[in-house]
């Protein structure tokens, strides 16, 4: 028996322990601490203990995982983990990921996994179809929205500058300029910095009082840049901004891009999959006019990390950027099967598309639409709860599922203390937000497990903290609890 294989008994034990692990975890989610009481001693031990010369075996591994790893994890799937934009993994995903690891396909060239290439194409084509992209569209499953935007801007550079592959941006040509709203995600800055566009050439366009990109400001910036001898190259619009869920006016931005000959990229990492909701369908209609779109199945398709996707309206732009023929691979063309190394930065790639495809197969598209509608309903409900509280106020409209609000008259420090209290006592994990210089709290309801009761609990608790704040004290003392949310202790 090769030393790195499991024998039959070990396989039986691993299967039994893994099934028990999956099952216990799923059952325990609502009772788990949202954020762990970090055990520094255990973490230091994990950091400094040398790997054993003689392995601890399957049972030993599961023991360490249950005793040391699991208690120090954050329960992102908890119904009251409402920070960032965090979709909890769907139920079939752990099994699909285990299958992907078992068959271990290399999705670089089709010979590394012919069916994997077809599954990835089917996922990409389905996503592209949601946005109204046609036959010429292409795309690739990525590690997330930031990576999709990075690859999108790389694609844009190759389309804009035919000599880009050879000469990069090391030319005497005018600097290229990228436009995104002040509310756009900083992955755009990061991509611009990595690709050599330079942060100095990223214009942050002001927003209106709905936090949507202002067209007049965009046009004025483009004019000013042209007048200064720069080359406007790309607008990144955001249908669903990370802070407030604001949907930039895609159709009119697309008109500007058409007039000005600019690439239009949509950072739809958060908002894009709301296209599945009939209520929001119209808001996404103009997406088909974008040159590229970044979406994030690890958000609203509830795939476990990592799963993003880049969609490109004309896939020849993508291959122009990424197709190389390194001498180490010989790849034949086959119209059925795609070599994904030609569509993105990676060569060796895992079979991420399987978990997306498996969930769509297992639950069906309608289940995702319902889950997404459920989060939209809950966000409206939370907004109503906040409006009904005299000491709380909404900071922004709630077009999607991000709810930004503040404790009236509270400072940044007060809000930070409220967050720490909510987290410390196990009520909820929210994040801080700053809008127009105003500080507050942000809850993003992107979990199909969250219920109205969870939101009742959170808003009531924040209102309590706010009343304590108005009285100049604290309404509750904090007790770190293993049993999240069930031990609010009135003073």
Ligand X SMILES: Cc1ncc(COP(=O)(O)O)c(C=O)c1O
Looking at 138-146, 225-233, 363-371, 386-394, which segment touches ligand X (CB under 6 A)?
Answer: 138-146
Query: In terms of CB distance, is 241 or 406 closer to ligand X?
Result: 241
Using Cβ positions, the residue closest to ligand X within the complex turns out to be: 144
Interacting span for ligand X (CB under 6 A) from 23-31, 102-110, 163-171, 263-271: 263-271
Measured between alpha carbons, how far is 237 from 183 in angstroms, rounded to an integer?
A: 10
DSSP code for 348: S
Task: Choose which of 32, 78, 80, 185 interacts with ligand X (CB under 6 A).
Answer: 185
Query: In the complex, what is the shortest distance from the CB of residue 435 to ligand X, in angstroms, rounded to a whole number?
Result: 15
Going edge to edge, which strands form the sheet with 438-444?
392-394, 402-407, 438-444, 431-435
Interface with ligand X, residue 85, by CB under 6 A: yes
Nearer to ligand X, 143 or 385 (CB): 143
Q: What is the three-class DSSP state of 481?
A: coil
Distance CA 349, CA 329 (A): 15
Q: Which of 151, 267, 425, 454 binds ligand X (CB under 6 A)?
A: 267
Query: Which of the ranges 30-38, 223-231, 238-246, 381-389 carries the binding residues for ligand X, by CB under 6 A?
Result: 238-246
- Which is nearer to ligand X, 372 or 410 (by Cβ)? 372
Taking alpha carbons only, the member of 121, 229, 111 closest to residue 175 is 229
Among 22, 84, 381, 476, binds ligand X (CB under 6 A): 84
Q: How far is the CB of 298 from ligand X (least distance, A)?
A: 6
- Closest approach, Cβ 127 to ligand X, in A, equals 14
The DSSP element (H or E) to which 404 belongs, if any, is: strand 402-407
Q: Quote the CA–CA distance of 22 and 319 in Å, as a whole number.
A: 40
- Give the helix ranges, DSSP H, for 395-451: 412-424
H helix or E strand, kind and range, residue 308 = strand 308-312
Of 141, 269, 287, 458, which lies in the binding site for ligand X, with binding defined by CB under 6 A? Answer: 269
Work out whether 145 is an interface residue with ligand X (CB under 6 A).
yes
Stretch that binds ligand X, among 20-28, 106-114, 264-272, 477-485 (CB under 6 A): 264-272
Q: Which residue has the tokens 């990109």?
A: 213
Would you say 265 or 469 has its CB closer to ligand X?
265
Prior bond of 20 cis (ω within 30°): no
> CA-to-CA distance for 466 and 418, rounded, in angstroms?
8
Cβ proximity to ligand X: between 87 and 485 the closer is 87
* Cα 302 from Cα 444, distance rounded (Å): 14
Contact 363, 90 (CB under 8 A): yes
CB of 176 to ligand X, least distance (A): 21
Contact (Cβ atoms closer than 8 angstroms) between residue 458 and residue 80: yes
DSSP-assigned letters across all residues of 396-462: S--SSSEEEEEETT--HHHHHHHHHHHHHTTS-B-EEEEETTEEEEEEE---TT--HHHHHHHHHHH
Phi/psi of residue 381, each to 5°? Answer: -60, -45
CB of 243 to ligand X, least distance (A): 9
Q: Output 190 or 474, the one with its CB closest to ligand X.
A: 190
Instruction: Please identify which residue in 35, 164, 270, 343 interacts with ligand X, judged by CB under 6 A.
Output: 270
Q: Which is nearer to ligand X, 146 or 375 (CB)?
A: 146
Q: How far is the CB of 153 from ligand X (least distance, A)?
A: 13
Cis peptide before 306 (omega within 30 of 0): yes
CA distance 276 to 367: 11
Q: How is residue 214 annotated by DSSP? A: P
Query: Using CB under 6 A, which of 77, 121, 146, 318 touches ligand X?
Result: 146
> Which of 58, 150, 236, 242 touches ligand X by CB under 6 A?
242
Q: Decide if residue 117 touches ligand X (CB under 6 A).
A: no
Q: Which is nearer to ligand X, 238 or 318 (CB)?
A: 238
Question: What's the DSSP call for residue 207?
Answer: B
Instruction: Choose, by CB under 6 A, the member of 75, 105, 212, 238 that binds ligand X.
Output: 238
Q: Locate tokens 């975890």: which residue?
A: 25
Please state, in angstroms and rounded to a whole number, the distance separating the CA atoms of residues 447 and 462.
20
Q: Binder to ligand X among 139, 144, 297, 426 (CB under 6 A)?
A: 144
| Under rule CB under 6 A, residue 87 binds ligand X | no
Q: Within 304-323, which residues bind ligand X (CB under 6 A)?
A: 308
Structure tokens at 88: 């909890």
Nearer to ligand X by C-beta: 244 or 339?
244
Residues at the interface with ligand X (CB under 6 A)? 84-85, 144-146, 185, 187, 238, 241-242, 267, 269-270, 296, 308
């Amino acid at each position: 028996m090769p030393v790195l294989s499991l024998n039959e008994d070990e396989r039986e034990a691993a299967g039994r322990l893994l099934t028990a692990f999956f099952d216990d975890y799923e059952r325990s989610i609502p009772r788990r601490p949202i954020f762990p009481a970090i055990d520094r001693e255990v973490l230091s031990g994990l950091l400094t203990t040398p790997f054993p010369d003689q392995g601890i075996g399957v049972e030993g591994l599961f023991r360490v995982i249950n005793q040391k790893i699991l208690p120090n994890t954050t329960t992102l799937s908890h119904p009251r983990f409402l920070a960032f934009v965090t979709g909890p993994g769907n139920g079939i995903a752990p099994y699909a990921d285990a299958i992907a690891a078992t068959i271990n396909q290399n999705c670089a060239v089709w010979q590394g996994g012919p069916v994997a290439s077809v599954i990835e194409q089917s996922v990409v084509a389905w996503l592209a179809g949601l946005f109204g992209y046609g036959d010429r569209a292409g795309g690739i499953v990525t590690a997330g929205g930031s990576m999709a935007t990075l690859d999108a801007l790389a694609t844009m550079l190759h389309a804009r500058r035919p000599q880009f592959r050879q000469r990069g941006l090391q030319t005497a040509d005018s600097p290229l300029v990228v436009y995104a709203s002040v509310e756009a995600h900083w992955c755009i800055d990061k991509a611009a910095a990595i690709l050599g566009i330079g942060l100095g050439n990223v214009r942050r366009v002001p927003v209106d009082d709905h936090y949507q990109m202002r067209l007049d400001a965009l046009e004025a910036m483009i004019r000013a840049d042209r007048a200064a001898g720069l080359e406007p190259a790309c607008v990144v619009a955001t249908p669903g901004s990370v802070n407030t869920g604001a949907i930039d006016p895609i159709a009119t931005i697309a008109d500007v891009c058409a007039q000005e000959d600019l690439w239009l990229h949509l950072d739809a990492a958060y908002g894009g999959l709301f296209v599945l909701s009939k209520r929001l369908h119209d808001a996404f209609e103009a997406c088909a006019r974008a040159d590229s779109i970044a979406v994030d199945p690890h958000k609203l398709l509830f795939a476990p990390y990592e799963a993003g996707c880049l969609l490109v309206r004309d896939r020849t732009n993508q291959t122009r950027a990424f197709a190389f023929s390194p001498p180490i691979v010989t790849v034949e063309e086959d119209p059925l099967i795609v070599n994904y190394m030609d569509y993105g930065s990676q060569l060796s790639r895992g079979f991420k598309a399987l978990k997306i495809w498996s969930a769509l197969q297992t639950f069906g598209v309608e289940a995702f639409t319902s889950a997404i509608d459920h989060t939209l309903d809950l966000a409206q409900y939370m907004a109503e709860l906040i409006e009904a509280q005299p000491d709380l106020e909404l900071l922004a409209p709630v077009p999607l599922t991000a709810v930004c609000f503040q404790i009236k008259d509270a400072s940044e420090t007060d809000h930070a203390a409220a967050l720490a209290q909510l987290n410390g006592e196990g009520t909820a994990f929210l994040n801080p937000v700053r809008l127009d210089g105003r500080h507050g709290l942000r809850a993003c309801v992107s979990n199909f497990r969250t219920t109205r009761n969870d939101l009742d609990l959170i808003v009531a608790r924040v209102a309590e903290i706010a009343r304590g704040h108005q009285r100049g004290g604290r309404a509750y003392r904090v007790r770190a609890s293993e049993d999240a949310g069930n031990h609010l202790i009135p003073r």
